[in-house]
Amino acid sequence: MAEPELDLEGLFARQRAYVRERSRPGLAERRADLQKLMRAIEERADTLLEALAADLGKCAIEAYTSEVGFVLRDIRHALSHLGGWMKPRGARTPLITRPGRASCRPEPLGVVLIIGPWNYPLQLLVSPLTGAIAAGNAVCLKPSEFAPHVAAAVRELCADVFPADQVTVVEGGRDVSAGLTALPFDHIFFTGSTATGRAVARAAAENLTPVTLELGGKSPCVVTEDAPIATTAKRIVWGKILNAGQTCVAPDHVWVAAGAERELLEALKVAARQLVPNRPPDPEPGDYGRIVNEAHFDRLESLIDGATVFDGGERDRATLRFAPAIVTEASLEHPLMREEIFGPILPVLPYRSLDDVLGRIADGPSPLAAYVFTENRDVARDFGDRVRAGGICINDTVTHLMPADLPFGGVGASGHGRYRGRAGFDAMSNLKAVLHRGFVPDLPLRYPPFKTGIGMIKRSYRWLAR
């Protein structure tokens, strides 16, 4: 039996009416909404963990730390700081506007659309939702159809916590996403691929809707000869195997100083075998997740076909398990080096000139993250200065996402806009500028007909505009 067609315009109209009729929520109301959301997630933690296991094979510890616990941390952080975020932010008034008071006042945008991906289907819906609720908006959530168990759990959770017109969850495929992005939302927050991000931006432009795009890219990792190899290898492998490599900020490939290549390869092999001991045909998955579906599995398999596999890569299409694969001798023209891998395949390439590698990275599309392992502070500083990326992490991978108030986002092809913590609140707010003046004095030189020459105006502006 065919699913009934969704009345997306009707859903949007009801949310728009809800915003118009609802008085602007104050601090107490917003805190109450966040507390209700937090309690609901805490009470349903086991259900959410089961849904994450069903959709992505995530073990309970990984699912809690990267999804359930992660969003609870974001909500608690918002509750602790919301009062400060909501306060008007004073701005200095120049002499020409005195006596006067200037401030920037955060106010709700209205109705916000959040489109989530399948790889972190809870975190990447609820983290931006936290910012949207903190900012006082109504929200339409569109979870990924490729994580149906989490989508259903989020729908039920939101239905129990919020009025339907305050937070609504719309499920469906690409046609539903396309229908939603064609509507005049006050903001669209999208996490996903660069290609789909372009389509979202084009649709939003028709309504001049501002967007936050959290995309991806080939996040490089550079290892210098002085890096402690065993620790470096373990941290790289850990970042690569999170969610079976299906992480937007996972280290995509590694550049290693030629003199340390062999030692790093052996250390990567040891680390991968230690962290993922259970591999096909072993039927027990252990703590390592699986690939989301057959199409993604087949894409990864086509990427690795014909590549030189130094270690790993055992896989089983029936269970969608794909062990970490360390690849060598990948040319820059190989698909592994041209496409975002988004899976547990790690190409390792030697370099002879660090300057050449940094230049190559700087000349390519800007990634969402970039990593360097070195004990040389000058090298670390140079890397941070020269590499244009959404985020930089030195001597680790992925953990730059952990500070709750460190803004997260991309640049160029990896997206634009920032969120989490205060940045998420600001992204979902209209930061309205307000100037309040008295009636006296009222300087006559501002009004025509002008009785002074431009020379005097230039001289006066040196102090009037201070």
**Six-digit token pair at 225?**
């000869």
Residue 431 dihedral angles phi and psi, to the nearest 5°: -85, 85
d(CA 249, CA 57): 20
- Cα gap 401→250, rounded to integer Å: 11
Map 337-387 to HEC letters: HHCCCCCCEEEEEEECCHHHHHHHHHHCCCCCEEEEECCCHHHHHHHHHHC
237 SS3 class = helix
Q: Is residue 393 annotated as a catalytic residue, yes or no?
A: no
Choice among 214, 261, 340, 393 that is catalytic = 214
- Tell me if 427 sits within 8 A of 417, measured CB to CB: yes
Place of tokens 């939603």: 180
- 464 contacts: CB under 8 Å, gap ≥ 6: 94, 95, 96
**Closest to 396 measured CA to CA, from 165, 239, 176, 282:** 239
> What would the two tokens of residue 184 be?
């005049």
Tokens of 275: 């962290």
Q: Which residue bears the tokens 């699912």?
A: 63
DSSP secondary structure code for residue 184 in this structure: -
Active-site residue, from 140, 158, 221, 248 = 248
Classify 132 as helix, strand or coil.
helix
Q: Is 206 a catalytic residue?
A: no
- By annotation, the residues acting in catalysis are 214, 248
